[in-house]
Amino acid sequence: MHRTVMCLHVVRHALAATIIIILAAGCRGSDWQNALDDVIVAERAFAARATDTTVQQAFLESIARDAVLFRPGPTDARALLAAQPYPPDFQLEWTPEWADASRDGELGYTTGPWRAGRRNQRSQSAAHGTYVTIWKRTLHDGWRVILDFGTGGASEFAVRELRHPASPPAHADAADRSALEQSIRLVDEDFVEALGADSSALVAFVADDARFLRDGSIATIGIPTANAAYAAIERSVRWSAAGSDISTAGDLGFVFGTWRSSSADSANGAWLRIWRRNATGDWKLALDAVTGSRPASTL
């Protein structure tokens, strides 16, 4: 009898250990999902604060010390908000419809529709568009907005089902951070070179679920829309990178900057490209946003 009880204890402890191992493996496998959830919660809390308090207060509470806003080009966010604060009665609403994050839970972003107007005057709101918020998690401050970008002129504010990629991005091979950031700069430069040669060549850089954001329309999705998004862009446009960042895992990053037409000095604006590493280790364009003042003959 005593021996039987001992055996049961051994089996029980072995089973418990097995369950712990399985749960631990499951937790490790869910890091990406946890990061996604965190980014989505942070975005929705950010949007809620803009409604519950003021847009100015929400931004000041949510942005990182070195955050970037685009007004119209990349600008130090805190300096801009200090010099040009949002009016107290300004209403800005937005909701995420797509989200992604790095596997290490350090970097993430959401995108979706926005609309703006005066408080209590929603029926008179005329401004619509699509936003992109990039989030970064730091040891001391948690998740903070490090970049906010938006296109304008979309004809609708439609709340759609929130979605995300089917699987996490792939880890990079071991490399230091400067080498990883250089890799994303290089692929972005190769992308620009392909644009200058032949817009049809860009599809090799594009992820299947890539999003293209342009003024005057809602986001378009997928490789078939890539050529259309760049069809009207003249090959002589000069693209100048102003900054970039990448996750420590080397699986998600972005580059942003300004553009200017070579043939029309009045045509200029800003751009943002988010890159994601796929299962074979290649960088693929996940989101491409271009905005600015431009004549119809260029962008």
Give the CATH number of the domain where residue 196 resides: 3.10.450.50
> What pLDDT is recorded for position 266?
67
- Is residue 24 in a domain? no
- Is residue 96 in a domain? yes
Question: What is the pTM (predicted TM-score) of this model?
Answer: 0.86
- Is residue 11 in a domain? no
> What pLDDT is recorded for position 231?
79
What percent of the chain is modeled with pLDDT above 70? 83
Q: What is the extent of the structural domain holding 279?
A: 177-293
Mean pLDDT calculated for residue range 227-256? 90
| Number of domains the chain contains | 2
Lowest mean pLDDT among 39-53, 180-194, 260-274, 284-298: 284-298
Mean pLDDT calculated for residue range 289-296? 67
Nearest to 267, CA basis, from 241, 233, 243, 242: 233
Residues 113 and 41 in one domain: yes
- Is residue 18 in a domain? no
Mean pLDDT calculated for residue range 8-19? 37
Residues 148 and 38 in one domain: yes
164 close to 100: Cβ distance less than 8 angstroms: yes
Give Cβ neighbours of residue 264 (< 8 Å, ≥ 6 apart).
294, 295, 297, 298
- Concatenated DSSP letters for 64-102? EEEEEEESSSEEEHHHHHHHSPPPTTEEEEE--SEEEE-
In the predicted structure, residue 29 carries a pLDDT above the cut 50:
no
In the predicted structure, residue 155 carries a pLDDT above the cut 90:
no
Q: Alpha-carbon distance 135 to 274, whole Å?
A: 12
Give Cβ neighbours of residue 68 (< 8 Å, ≥ 6 apart).
74, 75, 76, 77, 146, 147, 148, 243, 256
**Local structure of 144: helix, strand or coil:** strand
> What pLDDT is recorded for position 138?
86
In the predicted structure, residue 170 carries a pLDDT above the cut 80:
yes
Residue type, 16: A
- Is residue 50 in a domain? yes
The top-scoring range by mean pLDDT among 74-88, 115-129, 195-209 is 74-88
